[in-house]
Amino acid sequence: MTNTAKIVFIGAGSASFGVHMFRDMFASKNLAGCTLTLVDTNPETLERMYGLAQFMNKQRGAGIIIERTTDRRKALPGADFVLNSVAIDRTRLWRLDFEVPKKYGIRHTLGENGGPGGLFFTLRTLPLIFDFVRDMEELCPNAYFINYSNPESRIVLALGKYSSIKSLGLCHGIFLARWYVGTIMGMADKEPEKRLDLWAAGLNHFQCVMQIRDRETGKDMYPLLFEKEKTYDPTLQPLTRKLMRAFGHWITCSDDHMGEYLPYGYEGGEKGFDFDGEDNWRVRLQGIIDGVVAGTQPPPDEWKTLSGERGVTIIESMLHNQKKMIESGIVYNRGVIPNLPADLAVEVPLVVDAAGVHPVSLGPLPDPVAKLM
């Protein structure tokens, strides 16, 4: 199936997210003939990921045309999809977002999406995002902007209010929630991914799981979750489970992320994110990429599998009108969740086809949960 679509990936020098995206894109049988243009302002990281893209494209026989540039304005004309994963000096500044408020007695958990850290993360990220979308309004006004950068809710809200570009945000938090509930139910390893459907609505990193069902039978799995949770290890996600017992629903996606909305209820968070671990992993991953591209080591086995991200699925669905249900995406509300403000970014299931992205309303949230949001 030959395509002429153009996909621009801004922030392609990100080794971790770039590998995820490449795993999905070069495994696709539906993107042959598409052009993938990698954009990053760091020439060194851009060249590394360009080399990896060429390697994986050839290895998988994907037939995608690959370009790279440090100038996004050269990349954007004719684009159909723009993927964004940029962050400004991510771990160094994020560490300051966490540590400076803490120094002055302001307790928060991650300092990424909520609290004063989340505010400063937003203030330095949004101007850069709007540089991108203003260029898109001029150079590719009909392209879809798919955002992976945090703080997702604030970025998507700003795009919905102040840009004409079609946009949505994607986050894998719902899959983390699926793993937690499946683990409590006694499922092993990949079993939750195969067996469970979770349908949730709310805010990014703070969704209410409205339904948990067996994918094959349609059986309601909430009763089993409540029964198994009573005797499960109490150290696993205690805040989430406390809310489930109080309100009757699992709240995604994890205690530390939820603690950005409910810091008074989260007992961890004294050290924040594992910033050193993140930096060390990035260095190791860059070494792996260099070895793979140079031919001195084989690709890791996990690169042969799909990443679980949904960006490529959305692109395929829109290009070929393959109607797909996407478990979760961040969109401008406009009544999708009726008991939250219309002027808000919300995370809900999506249906995607050639006509675009269609948010799915699961109805109003339980009133106590909505009041927390």
Give me the DSSP letters along 87-119.
-SSHHHHHHHHHHHHHHTT---SSSSSSHHHHH
How is the chain split among helix, strand and coil, in percent rounded to 5?
45, 20, 40
Q: Fill in the DSSP letter of residue 11.
A: T
Residue 2: the pLDDT is: 63
Residue 1: the pLDDT is: 52
User: Does the model's pTM come out above 0.75?
Assistant: yes
- Nearest residue to 288 (alpha-carbon basis) of 61, 48, 26: 48
pLDDT(90) > 90 = no
pLDDT(99) > 60 = yes
Mean pLDDT computed over 213-221: 96
Question: Hey, what domains does the chain have and what are their CATH numbers?
Answer: 6-169 (3.40.50.720)
pLDDT band of 224, cuts 50, 70, 90: very high
Mean pLDDT of the chain, nearest integer: 93
- Residues 94 and 277 sit within 8 Å (Cβ to Cβ): no
- Residues 172 and 309 sit within 8 Å (Cβ to Cβ): yes
Strands 166-169 and 6-10: unpaired
Sequence-ordered list of residues with C-beta below 8 angstroms from that of 209, at least 6 positions apart, any chain: 177, 181, 198, 199, 200, 249, 250, 251, 252
Beta bridge partners of 330: 169, 347
277-331: pLDDT as tens digits = 888 999 999 999 999 999 999 999 999 999 989 999 999 999 999 999 999 999 9
157-194: pLDDT as tens digits = 999 999 999 999 999 999 999 999 999 999 988 899 99
CB atoms within 10 A of CB 267: 9
Mean pLDDT computed over 54-73: 97
Distances (CA, A) of 288 to 17, 57, 285, 293: 14, 17, 5, 9
